[in-house]
Amino acid sequence: MLRPDPRVPRLKVDFHTHTGDDPKDYIDFSSEQLIDRAAERGFDALAITNHNIVTFNRELEEYAADRDILLIPGVELTLSNKHVVIVNPDFREAEDFRSLDDLAGIRNDRNLIIAPHPFYPGFRCLGSDLETHIDSFDAVEFSFFYNHLINPNKKAVAAADHHRKPLVGSSDCHNIWQVGYTYSLVEAERTIPSIITAVKKGRVEVATTPLSMRAMFRVGVNWILGDKLRVHLRI
């Protein structure tokens, strides 16, 4: 449990988001629109983690800063056909990494390696591979996609507790309205090194609101339609 230090701010952060720059998923909003939405919802920091590409440049960083948002580089890598979120990677090209075994060489003090939606149904989710590679992960994700009746996050919470890994809340937004339902409160100064160090030390808390059944159905329909459109466009 996070015990707030009144001398240190608690930052509202989303570590796992997607935008129209994503080469794998069809998403109908731009990186700038995501930043605008995050600013409207009072976020302090944001990582754009498109699949296998780092969506980060000086112009986008300044666009975020003008809206009082700290933009953090990020990427959702596909390793051994599983998804892994890397926050503040040292690399810009993802093609050099293919296997979960590569995480041992990627991980360092400057980045944050997160296990996204590890126990959700889907062949890209880590599942039992999280246990096998647990030493390569800094944190486990609590995903936005759940409600009071359906919650695959329960196994993630148990795994994080068992292995003494911090939980981070993320929106994994593929629809812009998802921003703000689940996020992280990080006890840190508003710099990338401070945020990453704070999470690794467990100075983070998940803030979350369960979805309604209607919202979950909406997300499911959008995923299905997005998959069909992606196949049609040969993305």
**Contact indicator for 86, 112 with CB cutoff of 8 Å:** yes
Residue type, 145: F
**What pLDDT shows up at residue 111?**
98
- What is the phi/psi pair of residue 58, to 5°? -60, -40
- Please write the tens of the pLDDT for every residue from 173-197: 999 999 999 999 999 999 999 999 9
> For residues 4-18, b (16+ Cβ closer than 10 Å) or e, as one string?
eeeeebbbbbbbbbb
- The one-character DSSP state at 86 is E
**Contact indicator for 119, 110 with CB cutoff of 8 Å:** no
**What pLDDT shows up at residue 3?**
58
The domain ranges of the chain are 10-233
Q: Terminal CA-to-CA distance of the chain, rounded, Å?
A: 42
Between the alpha carbon of residue 97 and those of residues 112, 165, 195, the distances in Å are 16, 24, 25
Average pLDDT of the residues of the chain: 91
**What pLDDT shows up at residue 193?**
98
- The one-character DSSP state at 177 is G
**What pLDDT shows up at residue 225?**
54
What's the per-residue H, E or C state across 87-148? ECCCCCCCCCCCCHHHHHHHCCCCCEEEECCCCCCCCCCCCHHHHHCHHHCCEEEEECCCCC
> Which class is domain 10-233?
alpha beta
SS3 (DSSP) at 215:
helix
Q: Average pLDDT per run of 10 along the chain, which is 235 residues long? A: 66 98 92 98 98 96 98 97 97 86 95 97 94 97 94 97 98 94 97 98 97 86 54 38
**Contact indicator for 62, 201 with CB cutoff of 8 Å:** no
- Please write the tens of the pLDDT for every residue from 140-164: 999 999 999 999 999 999 999 999 9
